[in-house]
Structure 1
Amino acid sequence: MFETLKNAWKIADLRKKILFTLLILLLFRIGSAIPVPFLNPAAIKELISGSGNLLGYLDVLTGGALGKATIFAMSITPYITSSIVIQLLTIAIPALERMAKEGEDGRKKINKITRYTTVGLALIQAIAYYIMLRNTSGVVQYRSGFAGWFAAIVIVLAFTAGTALVVWLGEQINERGIGNGISIILFAGILSRGPQMVSQMMAYLELAKNGQTKYYFMVPLVIVIFLVVIAFIVLMTNAERRIPVQYAKRVVGRKQYGGQSSHIPIKVNMSGVMPIIFASSLLAIPGTIKAFVDPSATSFWGKFLGAFDYNKPVYAILYFLLIIAFNYFYVAVQYNPIEISNNIRKNNGTVPGLRPGKPTSDFIARIISKITLIGALFLGLVAILPIVFGAVSGMNIALGGTTVLIIVGVAIDTMRQMESQMMMRHYKGFLE
């Protein structure tokens, strides 16, 4: 990775793209420090500190901007939701499906629809945030009269405009920078919590100096586990099952086409981090309801909602099962074995030992089913590892499995884009 960065820096065009990307990230971090008027950040920080709270999960994705009540408090979370909704609607609505198959023009139209949907969802989410914050004492400075209405309008518009600005910054990276803009911004927000993890480790070392000697063993263990998890994620992200395809020879005029062997790569982690995001969002709903209602700890609803806290066994079990279920759902939506089989047949290709049509599609479906199970178990283990380790050791780790997956995935994707651009610049043409 460092060698790739070094070589990319030597190329003037790529160096400009890297510097432009860093400039956009600097602007993003500056915006993450500009507070929204009429809000009390200390009260918001206390509100989202509870385990299993949806706001706590969103605070991780925004790089702590939500807890600081800044203009980028919602960051790109409305865009993520909008992208998922449009992606699912593309399968359900024939007009969007046709648009998605129109190539570059269709992709631009879908991106435009996604942006408009993002602004709409950001406005709804900002209003919901304001209502929740207003119902919590000590968060909003003015809650009645003309001052209250003015404060409400400023807070909602600041949150909405912040999201629109973040999406625009991400698009600028796509056009003039390096890597996927939205992913890079999400990467930068999560990575900004790294100092918090370091400070936590230092705090545990201070506890070790004060007599709790177990932390002399636990802190190095956390670092080792962190490095092993990163290596495991890199391995599984690059892992794939290759289905061999043999293309038949055909003669057109005096030329012969085909006859070569190829393969269809089936990634082990086909769905990326999406199943974890779905499962986390769903399981965070009880914690958010608990924050709204604040039931007595001894009441039925208090015990029921408390069972979904982040550090409870029920949460870990449901989390693991939901990740597996959502992984199968997401893969089923994204990959159609019948369509893959038809594309192979249209290109005069066959899977060795199988007839075209239903036998090929059944074979591909079995392969995808097995690979999906392996990918789901991988995602589940990575996601619940911090929960299990925290329950056993009693340590609170700032970076969880989801955030590590996002960081590693974005880093790998960005490095691949750099390598491909460098390869294009060093490609020897037919004149050489």
Structure 2
Amino acid sequence: MKRFFQTIRNIFSIEDLRVRILNTIGFLIIFRLGSFIVIPGINPDHPSLADAGDTDGILGLLNTFLGGSFSRASIFALGIMPYISASIIVQLLTFAVPYFQKLQKEGDSGRKRLNQFTRVLTIFITGFQSYAYIRGTIDQGAIIDPGFFFYFSAITILVAGTMFCMWLGERITDKGIGNGISVLIMIGIVSRLPAALSNEAVSRGMNGALLFIIELIVLFAIVMGVIMLTQATRRIPIQYAKQVIGNKLYGGKRDFIPLKLNSAGVMPIIFAQALMFIPVLLVGMWRDTEWGTYIGTTFSDPYSWQYSLVFGTLILIFTFFYTAITINSNDIADNLKRNGGFVPGVKPGKQTAEFIDTVLSRITLPGALFLAVIAILPAFAVKLGISQNFAQFYGGTSLLIMVGVILDTLQQIESYLLMRHYEGMMKSGRVKGRSQFAAA
């Protein structure tokens, strides 16, 4: 305990880190306050909004990600999800359209242009989803005056709310700690955890106390499994050739490239979940049609086998996709060659890139499968009698996002401590987050 308080003291003794933590807390407070501000023109006391925390199905899961703002019809009702959908589309375009491929290779200027496209696309997606949200999700009786002016102002407010959430996420990334977009999603999830945990305990009662303890033990085991998945790495050994420069001998050291079992982190989960929300929001405008009813019924239940199958498949696809765009084996091989490094038994250059690709493919497949299995665990938890609100944290997307984001944030804090020659947060070693390659 003494070491823990000493670590906290060290964290706040570093001015830059202290400012970043306080900035992050301030941005998150603004985000949470905005989730309680109801859209003007909607009656917050209407019965349909009174039970904000009791939403079931896929909308309940979306409500969890947004910290309850979805069911409260707040100005942040759509949160950051439209921005994630736009990011998915733009990243897909970088693979399919030569113009976007060219922008991706132009460095900072190209990334800025891609960010501009993402922001503009976010506005269009949010506008479309805002209309679907108001028409298909909000009870029309909760709208005080459902006229043209209300729809226009509500859509404008929802678009502005999403863009403001996007701005908050960017500010957290630049001036705070962690990936801002992921942190916003995580804080929404964490805000719902205490209520879900207490409701599960109350529903079990004294007679079910032992069963509740077993649930917590199994949940702890799942958390450990998720941490193992996040931390697991495959180290590729690197040997640097000896070079004589002047009268000194350089090089000759051994190093390694740490390829993570789950190099994509939580992004495949966020991407897949964002796509799974779209059908439900869109069919709200055509809920009276036969096909609209079928799609809405199928994708509104995140615990059905159809939803789990599609969701798991999307996670597999996005894991390979995101790994491919974040880890460039050709760049790694070129950097090794320029610095006089090589993989023992493998020729530098093209063969090294192919070797890294082969290793990456072999470790990504089991990582993606494990990620998909954990993501659909809540469906099995519900079948075993666990309440839906608590089952969302019983493995699944919520737990994966929380663990991944917390580990990434701790890794950044750990880096600040080590740079200032303070003792790290973990006695056994560093917090291994999403770090850079040793050879890059």
* Band of TM-score, shorter chain: 0.7 to 0.9
Residue pair 2:84, 2:274 contacting (<8 A) in 1 also:
no
Structure 2 residue aligned with 1:17:
20
Contact 2:239 2:255 survives alignment (8 Å): yes
Shift of 1:159: 0.6
- Residue correspondence of structure 1 range 140-155 to structure 2 within 5 A: 140-143=143-146, 148-155=147-154
Contact 2:236 2:258 (C-alpha < 8 Å) held by counterparts: yes
Question: Which sits farther off after the overlay, 218-227 or 59-68?
Answer: 218-227
Query: What's the counterpart of residue 167 of structure 2?
Result: 168
Residue from 258, 264, 267 that aligns with 1:265: 258
Aligned-pair RMSD on alpha carbons?
A: 3.3
Find 2:126's aligned residue among 119, 122, 127.
122
Secondary structure, aligned partner of 1:37:
coil
Contact 2:85 2:274 (8 Å CA) reproduced = no
CA displacement, residues 149-201 of structure 1 (integer Å, 9 cap, x when unaligned): 11011101111111122222223333433333222222211111123212322
Q: C-alpha separation between the residues in 2 aligned to 1:391 and 1:112? A: 44
Give the aligned residue type for 2:61.
Y
Where 1:8 maps in the other structure, the secondary structure is helix
Q: For residue 10 of structure 2, what is the aligned residue in structure 1?
A: 7
Unaligned runs of 5+ in 2: 423-440
Q: Do 1:51 and 1:287's aligned partners in 2 also have CA atoms closer than 8 Å?
A: no
Could you tell me which amino acid in structure 1 is paired with residue 402 of structure 2? I
Asked if the contact 2:76–2:161 (Cα under 8 Å) also holds between the matched residues in 1, the reply is yes
How many residues were matched structurally?
413
State the TM-score, normalized to the length of structure 1: 0.82
Matches within 5 A, 1:72-83: 72-83=76-87
SS at match of 2:388: coil
Kindly state the Cα deviation for residue 280 of structure 1 after the two structures are TM-superposed. Answer: 3.6
1:418 is aligned to 2:413: yes
Q: CA 1:91/1:227 → structure 2, altered by over 3 Å: closer, same or farther?
A: same
How high is the TM-score relative to the length of structure 2? 0.81
- Name the CA distance, whole Å, in 1 between partners of 2:279 and 2:148: 30
Residue 35 (structure 1) aligns with? 38
Give 1:326's match in structure 2, choosing from 318, 325, 333: 318
Whole-angstrom distance in 1 between the partners of 2:115 and 2:417: 27
Question: What SS class does the counterpart of residue 256 from structure 2 fall into?
Answer: strand
2:374 alignment partner in structure 1: 382
Aligned-pair distance for 1:322? Answer: 3.8
Mapping of residues 175-190 of structure 1, within 5 Å: 175-190=174-189
Given residue 60 of structure 2, which amino acid in structure 1 is its aligned partner?
Answer: G
For 2:354, what is the secondary structure of its paired residue?
Answer: helix
Aligned counterpart, 2:141: 138
1:430 is matched with none
- Aligned mates of 1:251, 1:94 — CA distance in 2: 44
Cα distance change, pair 25–301 in 1 and its aligned pair in 2 (3 A): closer
Deviates more, 1:91-100 or 1:160-169: 91-100
Decide whether the 8 Å contact of 2:39 with 2:74 is kept in 1.
yes
Q: CA 1:292/1:300 → structure 2, altered by over 3 Å: closer, same or farther? A: closer
SS at match of 1:193: helix
Equivalent residue for 1:201? Answer: 200
Instruction: Report percent identity of matched pairs.
Output: 39
In structure 1, the gaps of 5 or more residues are: 428-432
2:37 counterpart SS class: coil
Residue 344 (structure 1) aligns with:
336
